[in-house]
Amino acid sequence: MEAAQPTPSLSFIIPVLNEGETLNTLFVKITATVQEHGLGSFEIIFVDDGSTDNSWQAICELATAHPDVRGLRFRRNFGKAAALAAGFSEARGRIVFTLDADLQDDPEEIPHFLEKLDEGYDLVSGWKKDRQDPLEKRLPSKLFNAVACRAGGVQLHDMNCGFKAYRREVLPHLNLYGELHRYVPVLAHAEGFRVAEIPVRHHPREHGVSKYGWKRYIKGMLDLLTVLATTRFLDRPGHLFGGLGLISAAGGFLILFYISCMKLIAGMPIAGRPLFFLGILLMLLGSQLISMGVIGELVIRFQSHDHRGKVIERA
């Protein structure tokens, strides 16, 4: 049935967890912007991530009344990344937007994203330049961004903005699960896509409550390790583990060398010195890490490499 529908130009994917109060207004705002700017056909896909309020009812009413609206529903809360991934697999538009359901993102920015994509970018991410959230959220977010951008090799102010626009070619390359939605720009950049950022207007939350607190940044740092291991170091685990291992082993060696010299020159005893144990610990840790790197390299050696995923054109 659905296959017979014409392909829309734009898809909007909206993850929803208990946001029943805002969905109708959001629909009206998106529709108004698209029509006002003559942006062509579109579809809105609401993904209900296990809401316990009236969100699903609101989505069903919208989907019944408007053929451009569709809804997906999870049996329980699987998280924003899973909701976005489900939306991506349903989206048919040439350009795919994601935005939050709580009206903090302003649909009037949609044309600006399209202008930036037209400059030749594959992914445009919003930057909540004047962020309307409490300070205890803004400060850790700044720190998180700085670390994640540096480690991930992308230069953005606001990695984790929910408002983004993608060329559809990007989507099959993003394997979003857990809480990896925070690292979409790093994941896309690692696949060779061109990533840009535009400042967007941000509104305070007026309905419902935030689903995330400061704890997200602790989990986020753990996720960063996963992202680095599966992107930058995917082809060379030996460099990640080997690098750390060499630093540790070198530290241990220097300590043991120093206390050996002190024993020989000044006759100072070795046993019983805390430094002695630290030296041994660092040497052992270093050799452990280096051998993990070697095992990682062996695992990769026996995996078939899929080069087609990296090839984009043939002549």
Return residues touching ligand UDP (CB under 6 A): 15-17, 19, 49, 77, 79-80, 83, 100-102, 104, 162, 210-212
The region of 94-102, 121-129, 251-259, 269-277 touching Mg ion under the rule CB under 5 A is 94-102
Residue 79 interface partner, choices Mg ion, ligand UDP, none, CB cut-off 5-8 Å depending on type: ligand UDP
Least distance CB 290 / ligand UDP (angstroms):
39
Least distance CB 211 / Mg ion (angstroms):
8
The encoded tokens of residue 148 equal: 């994640």
Q: Is 104 in the site for Mg ion (CB under 5 A)?
A: yes
CA distance linking residue 170 with residue 195, whole number of Å:
11
Which is closer to Mg ion, CB of 100 or CB of 158? Answer: 100
Inter-residue contact 14 to 100 (CB < 8 Å): yes
Which is closer to ligand UDP, CB of 212 or CB of 257? Answer: 212
Least distance CB 137 / ligand UDP (angstroms):
7
Which is closer to ligand UDP, CB of 187 or CB of 240? Answer: 187
CA distance linking residue 22 with residue 106, whole number of Å:
12
Q: Is 49 in the site for Mg ion (CB under 5 A)?
A: no
Q: Is 141 in the site for Mg ion (CB under 5 A)?
A: no
Q: Is 102 in the site for Mg ion (CB under 5 A)?
A: yes
Which is closer to ligand UDP, CB of 121 or CB of 163? Answer: 163
Inter-residue contact 88 to 175 (CB < 8 Å): no
Least distance CB 210 / Mg ion (angstroms):
6
Positions that interact with Mg ion (CB under 5 A):
100, 102, 104
